[in-house]
Structure 1
Amino acid sequence: MTHTALSAPAAELHRPYEGLPPTATADFNRDGFVHLSGVLSPETLAAHEPTITSEVIRLNTQDTPLTERDTYGKAFLQVCNLWRQNEKVRELVFSQRLAKIASELLGVHAVRLYHDQALYKEPSGGITPWHADQYYWPLSSDRCVTAWIPLQETPLAMGPLAFARGSHQFSYGRDLPISDESEARLKETLAAQHFEDVIEPFALGDVSFHRGWTFHHAGPNRGTEPRRVMTVIYMDADARVAEPTNDNQVADRGWMPGTAIGQVPDTPLNPVLHDSGWPA
């Protein structure tokens, strides 16, 4: 039997990340997010960005001119579950390196995939309004985390993701979808409650991880190139499907096909991506 050697980028995606600070899990629990440096090498990003970008272009269904869209439509082009379309994208989404970080930050023995999502903010694209992702997720647990993976250096002018530090413990606004209303109400209330708005540039290779209830937003893209970002959403492997509390959660049950309320979504679309009990 012959074994094909993994390319350097593919091998990196399955090696543990050595840069996780000793305080990372505690920081994540306190702040609701963590911004890590050097998670992926420039070579790994260069090996995957062209494929992800070409798939976004191929699969994007948004054809309304930017100036004629609503606030949500101006925020980004959004394409989900790209891993099912392309083996190169699957290589990144199924990365043991990323999934292990997610598992350690959440303090769970294993994480499974909820879904992936490409978020491309076009040049002159607008703000991403304040919101919390977990509003959309019909899950019994808040042990969920999104990895936000910029595919290029992302200075402030391109609209990097920004977080309200500690806001995952603030229950106000959890009934708000991404909208002009969420932007207005959360911007005012989070400021009034003195939550720090952490806005930082992302160097090439930086990746952030944020909890499902962490309120976050992004500025407009004032650059001349798209802000190209891939995201992967992980959930505690033992989490169960919950009764939806809004229409968006009803729709989101489609990411876990065939799973009844109260069941673990052990489906082909929701594989376990890291388990601390697996052999090394």
Structure 2
Amino acid sequence: MATSADYAKLPSLQDDYALSAEQIASYQRNGHILLREVATQEEINAYEPVIADVVREHNYMTKPVAERDTYGKAFIQIGNLWKLNEGAERFVLARRFAKIAAELMGVEGVRIYHDQALFKEPGGGHTPWHQDQIYWPLDTPNTITLWMPLVPVSEEVGSMTFVDGSQAFGYVSRQEISDESHKTLGSFIEGKQLPKTNYGTMAAGDATFHAGWTLHSAPGNPTDTMREVMTIIYIADGVRIVEPDSNSRRNDMHGWFPGLGPGDLAASPLNPLVYKA
């Protein structure tokens, strides 16, 4: 069994990842970007077993994929791994990733909203069109998600598909991730003939970043290997919680901002400041 001393030997992930002005401008224009080798293969080799072990330990899904609803088929979902394991904590709170998030958004500092492992099983279903931020009781454009595969992702699985510039629309639909959201948002995208981007093949350690309002979906997993992905959601330091206007946002407020309410700074003990310029 791993000890604190073992986790202390994991790569530090504290050094900088250089972003160009054009990459930052591209993210701010499109609401998404792919960055190669945000973590090296050596770093992924060290962290993947740690994160995969936490997912296995906390995965309580017992139904076969075929018997689940659309959301259940999409992925095994485990949240706040950083509170479950010291190695995962080292990964999630990494300065390198947080600095990228802050620079892409153009803000001084970022806090963790929460993290999620999203493991799409062999035969797992598609992730319907949605906007992440319908779940978040935050009135700000300054939210961003890092999405990093811990294993190579083939062309047939691919990255997520993003709708270019869709973050500018803000709140498009209140529908949660479902067959209904896929249909409604799909009609919206087609009706406006909005351009889409899928980055295709990704190496372990590559990462996409996307804004909270960016429309996106993901294909199913027709392969016989698990698509292991780790996500980290960041919010700008100084953002305040707003009055939840749905049960989803109310649940998120209680779950990710314990002890806080509307008007409070989004800065509970679960939302540490991980980068400040």
Shorter-chain TM-score bucket reads: over 0.9
Q: How does 1:234-253 map to 2 (within 5 A)?
A: 234-253=234-253
Flag the 1:229–1:68 CA change in 2: closer, same or farther, 3 A.
same
Q: State the AA in 1 paired with 2:156.
A: A
Q: Deviations over 1:33-86 (max 9, x none)?
A: 111011110011111111111111110121111111010000000000001111
Give me the CA root mean square deviation. Answer: 1.5
Q: Show the counterpart of 2:46.
A: 47
Task: Say yes or no: does 1:210 pair with 2:249.
Answer: no
CA-CA distance at 1:194 after TM superposition: 1.9
Moved over 6 A (4+): none
Flag the 1:159–1:70 CA change in 2: closer, same or farther, 3 A.
farther
**Number of residue equivalences:** 269
CA distance in structure 1 between the partners assigned to 2:198 and 2:92 by the alignment: 25
Q: Show the counterpart of 2:256.
A: 255
Q: Deviations over 1:177-217 (max 9, x none)?
A: 10101111112221221222211221232111100000000
Task: Say yes or no: does 1:90 pair with 2:74.
Answer: no
Contact 1:159 / 1:227 at 8 angstroms: preserved in 2? Answer: no
Contact 1:151 / 1:204 at 8 angstroms: preserved in 2? Answer: yes
Give structure 1 stretches of 5+ with no counterpart. none
Contact 1:134 / 1:142 at 8 angstroms: preserved in 2? Answer: no
Flag the 1:171–1:97 CA change in 2: closer, same or farther, 3 A.
closer
CA distance in structure 2 between the partners assigned to 1:187 and 1:221 by the alignment: 20
Aligned residue for 2:266, secondary structure, equals: coil
Q: Show the counterpart of 2:125.
A: 126
CA-CA distance at 1:174 after TM superposition: 2.8
Q: Deviations over 1:221-240 (max 9, x none)?
A: 01111100000000011001
Q: Show the counterpart of 1:14.
A: 14
Q: Show the counterpart of 1:272.
A: 273
CA distance in structure 2 between the partners assigned to 1:142 and 1:135 by the alignment: 12
Flag the 1:126–1:187 CA change in 2: closer, same or farther, 3 A.
same
Q: Show the counterpart of 2:223.
A: 223
CA-CA distance at 1:156 after TM superposition: 2.6
Q: State the AA in 2 paired with 1:265.
A: A
CA-CA distance at 1:172 after TM superposition: 6.4
CA-CA distance at 1:260 after TM superposition: 2.0
Contact 1:138 / 1:250 at 8 angstroms: preserved in 2? Answer: yes
Q: State the AA in 2 paired with 1:263.
A: D
CA distance in structure 2 between the partners assigned to 1:144 and 1:242 by the alignment: 14
CA-CA distance at 1:17 after TM superposition: 0.4
CA-CA distance at 1:262 after TM superposition: 0.4
CA distance in structure 1 between the partners assigned to 2:27 and 2:52 by the alignment: 30
Contact 2:158 / 2:202 at 8 angstroms: preserved in 1? Answer: no
Q: Show the counterpart of 2:3.
A: none
Between the aligned residues of both structures, percent identity stands at 41
CA-CA distance at 1:171 after TM superposition: 4.4
CA distance in structure 2 between the partners assigned to 1:143 and 1:174 by the alignment: 19
Contact 1:143 / 1:235 at 8 angstroms: preserved in 2? Answer: yes
CA distance in structure 1 between the partners assigned to 2:184 and 2:234 by the alignment: 28
CA distance in structure 2 between the partners assigned to 1:145 and 1:240 by the alignment: 16
Task: Say yes or no: does 1:143 pair with 2:128.
Answer: no
Aligned residue for 1:244, secondary structure, equals: coil
Q: State the AA in 2 paired with 1:222.
A: P
Contact 1:36 / 1:206 at 8 angstroms: preserved in 2? Answer: yes
